Amino acid sequence: MTAEREKLVLIGNGMAGVGTIEQILKLGGAYDITVFGSEPHPNYNRIMLSYVLEGSKTIEDIILNDHQWYEDNHITLHTGTTVIRIDENNRQVVTDTGLSVHYDKAIIATGSNSFILPVPGSTKEGVVGFRDIADCDAMLAAAKQYRTAAVIGGGLLGLEAAKGLVNLGMDVTVVHLLEDLMERQLDRTASSMLQAELARQGVKFAMGKQTAELTGEERVTGLRFSDGSELPAEFVVMAVGIKPNVQLAKDSGITVNRGIVVNDYLQTSMADVYSVGECTEHRGTCYGLVAPLFEQGMVLAKHLSGVPTPGYEGSVVATKLKISGVDVFSAGEFTETAEHTVISAKDEWKRTYKKILLKNNIIVGAVLFGDVTESASLQKLVKQATEMTDEIYGEVMGTGCCGGGGAKKGLSVEAMADEEIVCGCNGVTKKAIVDAVTENGFTTVDEIKACTGATRSCGGCKPVVEQILQFVLGDSFQQSAKQGICSCTPLSRDEIVAEITAKGLRTTKEVMHVLDWKQPEGCSKCRPAVNYYLGIIYPETHEDEKESRFVNERMSANIQKDGTYTVVPRMYGGVTTPEDLKRIADVSLKYDVKVVKVTGGQRLDLIGVKKEDVPKVWEELDMPSGYAYAKSLRTVKTCVGSQFCRFGTQDSMEMGAQLERKYERLDMPAKFKMAVNGCPRNCAESCTKDIGIVGNDGGWEVFIGGNGGIKPRIADAFCKVRTDEELVEVCSAVMQYYRETGNYLERTSEWVERMGLEHIQSVILGSDDNRKELAARIDFALAQVSDPWKKMLDDNSTRTALFEQTRV
Ligand X SMILES: Cc1cc2nc3c(=O)[nH]c(=O)nc-3n(C[C@H](O)[C@H](O)[C@H](O)COP(=O)(O)OP(=O)(O)OC[C@H]3O[C@@H](n4cnc5c(N)ncnc54)[C@H](O)[C@@H]3O)c2cc1C
Partner whose binding site includes residue 520, from ligand X, other proteins, ligand FES, none (CB under 5 to 8 Å by kind): other proteins
- Residue closer to other proteins, measured from CB, 307 or 801: 801
Separation CA 384–CA 411 (nearest Å): 14
- Residue closer to ligand SF4, measured from CB, 259 or 695: 695
Separation CA 490–CA 531 (nearest Å): 18
- Residue closer to ligand SF4, measured from CB, 190 or 721: 721
Is-contact 151 162, C-beta < 8 A? yes
Separation CA 625–CA 440 (nearest Å): 43
> Considering the rule CB under 6 A, would residue 49 count as an interface residue with ligand FES?
no
> Considering the rule CB under 8 A, would residue 801 count as an interface residue with other proteins?
yes
The 3-state secondary structure of 352-391, one letter per residue: EEEEEEEECCEEEEEEEECCCCCHHHHHHHHHCCCECCHH
- Residue closer to ligand X, measured from CB, 47 or 530: 47
Q: Is 425 annotated among the ligand-binding residues?
A: no
Residues 534-553 that bind other proteins (CB under 8 A): 546-551
Residues 90-149 that bind ligand SF4 (CB under 6 A): none
Is-contact 236 204, C-beta < 8 A? no
| From candidates 151, 214, 328, 461, binder to ligand FES by CB under 6 A | 461
Candidates 431-439, 555-563, 671-679, 753-761; binding stretch for ligand SF4 (CB under 6 A): 671-679
Would you give the DSSP letter of residue 715? P
Number of residues that bind other proteins (CB under 8 A): 39
Nearest CA among 655, 656, 632, 652 for reference residue 644: 652
The 3-state secondary structure of 177-194, one letter per residue: CCCCCCCCCCCHHHHHHH
Q: Is 679 annotated among the ligand-binding residues?
A: yes
Task: Return residues touching ligand X (CB under 6 A).
Answer: 11-17, 36-39, 46-47, 49-50, 82-83, 109-111, 130-131, 157, 245, 248, 277-278, 288-291, 293, 322, 458
> Considering the rule CB under 6 A, would residue 321 count as an interface residue with ligand FES?
no
Partner whose binding site includes residue 641, from other proteins, ligand SF4, ligand X, none (CB under 5 to 8 Å by kind): ligand SF4
Separation CA 622–CA 435 (nearest Å): 57
Q: Report helix angle 445-452 to 462-473, nearest 10.
A: 110
Q: For Cα atoms 339, 345, 350, give the angle at the middle one, nearest 5 degrees.
A: 150
Shortest spacing between CB 671 and other proteins, in angstroms: 18
> Considering the rule CB under 8 A, would residue 807 count as an interface residue with other proteins?
yes
- Residue closer to ligand SF4, measured from CB, 477 or 647: 647
Separation CA 14–CA 278 (nearest Å): 10
> Considering the rule CB under 8 A, would residue 89 count as an interface residue with other proteins?
no
Residue 584 makes CB contacts below 8 A (sequence gap 6+) with 569, 596, 604, 606, 621
Q: Is 639 annotated among the ligand-binding residues?
A: yes
Q: For Cα atoms 729, 735, 739, give the angle at the middle one, nearest 5 degrees.
A: 140
Residue type, 90: N
> Considering the rule CB under 6 A, would residue 315 count as an interface residue with ligand FES?
no
Candidates 53-61, 273-281, 455-463, 639-647; binding stretch for ligand FES (CB under 6 A): 455-463
Shortest spacing between CB 450 and other proteins, in angstroms: 4
Residues 681-740 that bind ligand SF4 (CB under 6 A): 681-683
Number of residues that bind ligand FES (CB under 6 A): 12
DSSP codes of every residue in 114-167: EPPP-STTTTSBTEE-SSSHHHHHHHHHHHHH-SEEEEE--SHHHHHHHHHHHH
Give, in order, the Cα–Cα distances in Å from 26 to each of 19, 21, 432, 493: 11, 9, 11, 38
Could you list the residues known to form a binding site, using ranges: 639, 645, 679, 683
Which spans of this chain sit near other proteins (rule: CB under 8 A)? Answer: 55-57, 61, 446-447, 449-450, 456, 509, 519-524, 527-528, 546-551, 554-555, 559, 561-563, 611, 798, 800-802, 805-808
Which spans of this chain sit near ligand FES (rule: CB under 6 A)? Answer: 423-426, 454-461
